[in-house]
């Protein structure tokens, strides 16, 4: 009896850690092609283990980027900003040569002023300056775990009040809306200061300098000393990694347990990225 030859399996992605705190590069995957279930599982596992994962050398149309994103969640429109005309779920993130302020240029978790902040985001590099424009990421599991027991007890019952109008994070959104003849809406969301990740069960610090204004039932003045300590603590260098972009690079981060900060050090040059945001749940 002649044996039927078995179909050769596609090689599994190669995941390589890039820093001690978080971050890994994933090699051996063409994101422009449909991914089988096993490859999706490896990528999802890498995201949960490393919190942010990076792909290089990709060639993606907006629809291909969107198809990749749909393997991991539900793409949603970014609040108050328009997507591409041909693909509204892809948000262009652009800094032009004459602009001095970059989009989201402060440590933050994405849109924590929403009732359900995103699960994660994917950012794809279209045009990169000749130098600069890196993005920093910080591990918020470690940010929580390295607090003292006394601080953990203090934070346990607290709820953070997050707003879309903190000046450092809202400046570029205001500029874009003003150019389009629209006004910025005031959005606010209240979330536990320490949240439990719905997939890993680990606890993460969930305040950020970009959006967290105060604690619920506390004044801004009362909240400021504790928040300023946390904002500094949660982005210490040993809790971070740094990604140097190239055209065709894609970063995929877990917004539930990371923060990020795009470095604004490329004045006079253009930077163009395409972003997909994935729907999340209400933090608990």
- Residue 110 bears catalytic tag: yes
- Name the active-site residue from 197, 211, 271, 275: 275
Cβ(240)–Cβ(138) under 8 Å? yes
Q: Output the DSSP codes for 8-44.
A: PPPPPPEEEE-SSSS-EEEES--TTSPPPHHHHHHHH
Catalytic: which of 110, 173, 271, 274? 110
Are 123 and 110 a contacting pair, CB within 8 Å?
no
Catalytic residue of the set 173, 191, 260, 271 = 260
DSSP letter at 78 equals P
Active-site choice (50, 108, 191, 214): 108
Q: What φ, ψ does residue 91 adopt, rounded to 5°?
A: -100, 120
Task: Please indicate whether residue 27 is annotated as part of the active site.
Answer: no
* Spatial contact of 38 and 71, defined as CB atoms under 8 Å apart: no
The answer to whether the beta carbons of residues 108 and 261 sit under 8 Å apart is yes
Q: Is 274 a catalytic residue?
A: no
Q: Taking Cα atoms as reference points, which of 31, 240, 49 lies closest to residue 122?
A: 31
Let me know if 281 is a catalytic residue.
no
Which residues carry out catalysis? Answer: 108, 110, 260, 275
């Amino acid at each position: 009896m002649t044996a039927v030859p078995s179909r050769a399996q596609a090689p599994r992605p190669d995941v390589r850690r890039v820093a001690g705190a978080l971050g890994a590069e994933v090699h051996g995957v063409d994101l422009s092609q449909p991914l089988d279930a096993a490859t999706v599982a490896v990528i999802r596992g890498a995201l949960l283990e490393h919190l942010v994962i990076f792909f290089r050398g990709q060639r993606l149309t907006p629809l291909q980027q969107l198809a990749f994103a749909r393997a991991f969640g539900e793409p949603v429109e970014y609040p108050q900003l328009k997507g591409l005309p041909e693909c509204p779920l892809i948000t262009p993130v652009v800094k032009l040569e004459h602009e001095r302020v970059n989009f989201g240029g402060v440590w933050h978790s994405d849109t924590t002023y929403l009732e359900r902040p995103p699960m994660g985001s994917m950012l794809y590099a279209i045009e990169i300056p000749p130098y600069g424009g890196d993005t920093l990421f910080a591990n918020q599991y470690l940010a929580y775990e390295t607090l003292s027991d006394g601080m953990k007890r203090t934070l346990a019952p607290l709820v953070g009040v997050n707003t879309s109008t903190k000046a450092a994070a809202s400046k570029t959104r205001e500029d874009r809306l003003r150019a389009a003849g629209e006004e910025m809406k005031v959005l606010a969301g209240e979330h536990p200061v320490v949240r439990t990740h719905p997939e890993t069960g680990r606890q993460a610090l969930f305040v950020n300098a970009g959006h967290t204004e105060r604690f619920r039932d506390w004044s801004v003045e009362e909240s400021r000393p504790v928040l300023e300590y946390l904002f500094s603590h949660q982005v210490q260098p040993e809790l971070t990694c740094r990604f140097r972009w190239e055209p065709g690079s894609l970063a995929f981060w877990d917004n539930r347990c990371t923060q990020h900060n795009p470095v604004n050090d490329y004045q006079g040059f253009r930077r163009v990225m395409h972003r997909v945001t994935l729907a999340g749940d209400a933090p608990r």
